[in-house]
Structure formats: C-alpha cells, structure tokens
Structure 1
Amino acid sequence: YSQTKLAEEVGFFVPLKGKDALVVSLMRLHASGPFGTADARLLRDMAPAVIGLARLRWPALPADEPAATKQDEAIAPVNEFERAHIWKSLSLTPREKHVVDLVLQGHSTESIARAMRIVPGTVKVHRRNIYRKLKIKSQAGLFARFVEIIDARIR
C-alpha cells in the first residue's frame, strides 16, 4: 500500500456462478487512517445490503441460484463453536486464534491491539507466528486458508 497512499482496504465478495465472485472494494487513504472497530462492525452489518445492491446494479451477473444458498451459508458469520472447530487442527494458541478471528473480521493491527488490550507490536508478533505456523506470507494467504477450510467444511 505504500505506493498507493492507502491505509487499508475492505472487500465485499458477491458470489457468482461456480467459484467466481465479484469484489466490491472500499479503501481508506493513509491520511484517514485504517478502519476502526466501529467501522468494521458497520461494514460487516452492511455486507448483505452491499451484495444486494451489486446484484441490482449488475443484473446480468451470472448468479447460480442453487449454489448461492450454499455459498451464502459459507460466508455467513461463524459462531464461537464453529471458529474453535475451524482452527482446531492448526495448532494455534487461543490468543493466535483470537487474532485470526479479528483479522478475518477486517480489523487492523491497531484495532486488534485495542480490542485485545495489548500493544500493536505484540499483535505483529502473533501475526508473524500465525503466518509461520500456517506457512503463509500475508493476510491474503490467511483469508485464502480460511476460505479453503470453510469450503472443505461445507462439502
């Protein structure tokens, strides 16, 4: 993001036919700072409306009606029990699992630090350990791993 002058980006995934998706992306300029906890909650609550508006705006999108219900279940909020089950096999500590959950909800490092009442440096250490354990290199890799696990779970 250093060359784009963006602080953070959030994407809404609109499921399409097969394994395709349309992504509606929102970005914050570096001058505005990253999304805060309240912003993340608002964006999460807005997701169904944004997805619905995308479908209204682009009615020719190839929606796969029977599969859409199954995909919608996959991207629905995951409860505490399901999260524990999802990450159980990955040998993460409870704190690392909490960091993963917050990252996947769209929280920035600073927002995670505030939520967990720790310093941002500690969040960065947790993230580094998570990435090492999961053999990934980025937040995108973490999201991809989560999608793989969820996809395997619903099959």
Structure 2
Amino acid sequence: MKGRTSRGDDFGDLAAVVAATREASGDRFGEALVAWLSRHVSFDHCVVFGYRGAARPPMLFETFSPSESHVFVALYQEGPYLLDPFHHAAVERKEGFWRMRELAPDRFYASEYFRSYYSQTKLAEEVGFFVPLPGKDAVVLSLMRLKASGPFGTADARKLRDMAPLVIELCRQRWPELPETEQPAPAEKNAPAPVNEFDRTHIWESLSLTVREMHVVDMVLQGHSTESIARSLGVAPGTVKVHRRNIHRKLGINSQAELFARFIQIIEKRR
C-alpha cells in the first residue's frame, strides 16, 4: 500500500474515517482507516483483533486474501494467539504504538511458536496500535510488512507513533466494546475449564505440574530464555533448568517442539 501526499486528499480520507466510526459495518471503517494510514506509511496487511483475557479473540477487520486469512486469522485463533506478544501486551493494558521487537521476549525469534506458526506469516515486521477498552477488553490494530517489503523504517515508525493518539481514539469510537462471544455449553463435572481467563497457565493443570512449573512452561512457549525466566521469577538460572528437566520428564517430551505440539493438543481438546 503506497502512501500519497496530497493534503486535500489526506484530510478527505480522514473525514471518511471519522464518518465511518458511526456506521454499523466494521469493514467500512477499516477500509477508510487503511486508506488514510497508507497515505503516510506503506504496509502490506492490516488486521484488527479484540482481546478479552485468554478467550479466543474475535477478528474485527482484515485485509487478507482467503488463503492468507487461514494463516493470519483461522490458525491464530485456534491457540497460537495465547503465545503472541501482542496478545500479552493487550491483556496487560498497554496503550499506544508498539513494534513487535519492543514487546517480544529475548528468545522469541528462536522459539518453537515462531518456527511452527509465526514464520508461516512471512512477515518482516508487525507493529500495532493498542487500545484498552473499559473493563479488561482491548483492541489491537496491526500493520504488517512482508519480507519482500522489508521492515518499517525509523521514520515510518516515528510517524506512526505520532499518529497513535488519533488512531486509538478513532478505534475507541468504532469499537467502544467488543462483540459478545458465543458462550460455551455448561461443562461436565470435573471437565477442564475453557480457556477464557487471563492466566494461561491453568491449561496445564491436568498434567500434574506444580504452579511454578506451569509458569515456566508458559514463559518457555512465549520465547523467554532460561535467564529471562530466572529474572522474572526471582530465582537462579540453575533452578529454572531443574524445572525444565522436571517438566520434560512429567510430560514425556524431549524438545521445545514436542512441548509446543502438546500445547496445541491441549488447546484443541478444550475447544
């Protein structure tokens, strides 16, 4: 999406965005906002997700083709979103403009999540506008550049950061609250709870892990190194290594790839 520079056209596009905040269709607002943003910064894709704790995030707007949407939306909603740095930042109530590199754990780009899922997106970089809503909900508008386009330049990132207050307010006007999600059927007695809370670690409760081991598993899957986990938990790196060995023994696994596969398997069983 190539930016244009006419001031009159720019103000006209911005007026269309403001008008679209009052329309029932989220697509019209998204299209108008993308048209305005693309005048200032080039990007390949835009997607808007709503986040409500660890619940499956509704997709509010996208610019993907059907095949692209399968990776960026359908597969993402099946469970990988729980390991997404953008998801974590949203539920932690961050606001403003953020680049993925500013939010990702220190070993994110070497994590199994990145290798198994995120690499499928073929992105050079993802940036986002983070919009906390009343209660614990949030909206994130992501702009993406493919590897063929290269990452956002410093000047582009600075411009988007300057535009953030306006973009955030426009998104709040369009989505003052998230759409209601379909409520799951009542669970049978002793059945695992659905994944619908902020704390993701509870998905491991059926696997005889301690609370500390569950936190370690969660951080490993996010892409934190042993040293990063140790700093976060206030323990020695050697203690984290012991936890990781115990986790592998209890789960009967030998690698992070097997841990990620077990994570996806558990998520699928809980849907």
TM-score computed with the length of structure 2 as normaliser: 0.32
One-letter amino acid of the counterpart of residue 79, structure 1: F
Aligned length: 104
Instruction: Quote the offset at 1:105 in angstroms.
Output: 1.3
**What is residue 30 of structure 1 aligned with on the other side?**
none
Paired with 2:257 and 2:142, the residues of 1 have a C-alpha distance of 24
Instruction: Quote the offset at 1:151 in angstroms.
Output: 1.4
Distance change >3 Å, CA 78–CA 44, structure 1 → 2? farther
Give yes or no for contact 1:99–1:127 (8 Å, CA) kept in 2: yes
Paired with 2:258 and 2:241, the residues of 1 have a C-alpha distance of 16
Give the SS at the match of 1:89: helix
Distance change >3 Å, CA 102–CA 44, structure 1 → 2? farther
5+ long unaligned stretches in structure 1 = 1-6, 15-20, 27-42, 58-75
The structure with the larger Rg is: 2
Instruction: Quote the offset at 1:79 in angstroms.
Output: 2.0
**What is residue 228 of structure 2 aligned with on the other side?**
111
**What is residue 239 of structure 2 aligned with on the other side?**
122
Give yes or no for contact 2:216–2:244 (8 Å, CA) kept in 1: yes
Query: Residues 54-83 of structure 1: CA distance to partner in whole angstroms, max 9, x if unpaired?
Result: 5x98xxxxxxxxxxxxxxxxxx99721x53
5+ long unaligned stretches in structure 2 = 1-106, 130-140, 150-194
Instruction: Quote the offset at 1:96 in angstroms.
Output: 0.3
Distance change >3 Å, CA 132–CA 153, structure 1 → 2? same
Give yes or no for contact 2:213–2:243 (8 Å, CA) kept in 1: yes
**What is residue 22 of structure 1 aligned with on the other side?**
120
Paired with 2:252 and 2:217, the residues of 1 have a C-alpha distance of 14
Give yes or no for contact 1:96–1:126 (8 Å, CA) kept in 2: yes
Give the SS at the match of 1:22: helix
Instruction: Quote the offset at 1:132 in angstroms.
Output: 0.3
1:150 has 2:260 as partner: no
Distance change >3 Å, CA 9–CA 120, structure 1 → 2? same
Cα RMSD between the aligned structures?
3.7
For residue 201 of structure 2, the aligned residue among 68, 83, 94 is 83
TM-score computed with the length of structure 1 as normaliser: 0.54
